[in-house]
Structure 1
Amino acid sequence: MKKTFESALFKFAYFPNYDKAIEFLAENLADPEAWEFSDANEKHYSILKSYLEHIFRKLKAENKVAYTSNNSHACFNTGLVTKNLEPIFAFFEEYRKPRKGKDNPQYCFKAFLKESDIQLLKTFPSRHPDIADFFQKPEDLIFNPRCQLIPQLDHIIEDNLTRFPIHIQSLDSGEIRRRLDGAIEEVKKRVKTNYKLAVPQFYNNRIQLLLPLNLTPGSPNPDLALVIHKISDDTYTARTCLTLKMAYNNARLIVKPQSVWLKP
């Protein structure tokens, strides 16, 4: 049975007009980047919304949400910056208008503010929380070409077939396996000569790497992202694959991907 998604951010705070706040953050405050996927008919900033939800969860786990001494206000570092590289914070005050019949959060969102904003400085004069910490060892972010990669093909296909393109799903099981095996063997060779093909992502509290899988003959564009992680000092394994949208959302948590293949 599929779990119902529950927003930790919305449980923490009431947002009077979340969409407007997100639009302001994306269009007026943060350093510009693509916050919506290129095939979307309308701009809803889905990448930014996913980013903020999961950044907040990580910050909560690291105890990096700051509170005033009387708990009247709270704030956290979004990890985003302005064009001039000034950190941007989410700012909250105690929620004073509980809605009847609702499980009301403790706080109400007020604004996204840059660090020099007078409202933020007056409330938090010297206690600005740090950004989320996603890795302890920088080498985890880079593919090691000396390591072998051993994928679990059966698991990848059986558990993730619905993520494959429709034209691949319709093939017989033998052909799907051959396509997947061939794509993995190809990307193994490519990543050993170009380590930048491997894009780091954060998932299940650990760093993993994403590799492009080209399953469609003649197409220069990848169809899926293969998720690999280390199981020993000299071996990577792969048990799952992601759609490119899923992969981008996960990768954007750490940093804006600078990749030739993983784009919104």
Structure 2
Amino acid sequence: MATTQFTTSSISARNMALFEGLRPSAVQFPCVGHVKIGNLTQRTLKGIIVKASTVVAPKHTAIKPLGDRVLVKIKEAEEKTEGGILLPTTAQTKPQGGEVVAIGEGKTFGKNKVGISVESGEQVVYSKYAGTEVEFNGTKHLILKDDDIVGILNTDDVKDLKPLNDRVLIKVSEAEEKTAGGLLLTEATKEKPSVGTVIAVGPGSLDEEGNRKPLSVTTGNTVLYSKYAGNDFKGKDGSDYIALRASDVIAILS
């Protein structure tokens, strides 16, 4: 807190005018002795301290998302590998999941209003780098749109993911370990798989009237999908999974 001290030698009639209008709480006047200023006799303003005002940011106690937005408490990144090796900050996986803390009122389509796909307390997985990160109650949160939520995952196994909207959960097929000529491939040279089996599908995307449009793929389909699309996950069974939009599925294989 900045302070300004005035002594008897620095006070004049001109200086006294500067104190007119100050609130009593802002200035302290310990009175000792007398000092004559012009034709007026004033008490010595010895040790006057004027405290500069300080702007304090208000403490917010709640955040209410608007429209189709959702407030999610971010799950902390893993600091160790499964083998107990401590990971540096640069090697930690960016969190992609968290707990829903609050939801907006939904979105209007024409005359229809559609509510949020998730409820407070549910554990969700969201798209990488989606939303706006905010610090709230000493914890990192994310405000993101309902459509940025990939699915609901209330367990610690990705195969239990319940996709939302037009998302599809696929179990990725194993990568080929040999070329057509029988040459063994290293991990670095293996082709990224783009074929898998559909494990779960979302309820579909919304049309202009707010109605759900069913997806063109169903559980059990073997599909070909766009490379590098969606969000990759490692299941507890050691298998690779990917959650992507139905529009990223190129074809159904049979």
Structure in which a larger fraction of residues adopt strand = 2
Q: Larger relative contact order (C-alpha < 8 A, sep ≥ 6)?
A: 1
TM-score range relative to shorter protein: under 0.3
Point out the structure with the larger helix share.
Answer: 1
| TM-score relative to the length of structure 1 | 0.27
Give the alignment's TM-score, normalised by structure 2. Answer: 0.28
Tell which structure's C-alpha radius of gyration is larger: 2
